[in-house]
Amino acid sequence: MTSSNYVVSGTQISELTSLLETLGLNARDLDDLVTEEKSDEAAEINAEGTDSQLNYLIGKISAEELEIKLRAGTPGATKLDS
How many domains in the chain? Answer: 1
pLDDT per residue over 37-70, tens digit each?
999 999 999 999 999 999 999 999 999 999 998 9
Asked, for residue 78, whether it belongs to a domain, the answer is: no
Asked, for residue 77, whether it belongs to a domain, the answer is: no
- DSSP strands (E only) in the chain: none
**How far apart are the C-alpha atoms of 75 and 66, rounded to whole Å?**
9
pLDDT per residue over 2-38, tens digit each?
445 578 899 999 999 999 999 999 999 999 999 999 9
Asked, for residue 15, whether it belongs to a domain, the answer is: yes
**How far apart are the C-alpha atoms of 34 and 15, rounded to whole Å?**
18
- The per-residue pLDDT for 8 is 86
Containing domain of residue 52, as a range?
Answer: 9-71
Asked, for residue 18, whether it belongs to a domain, the answer is: yes
**How far apart are the C-alpha atoms of 82 and 70, rounded to whole Å?**
16
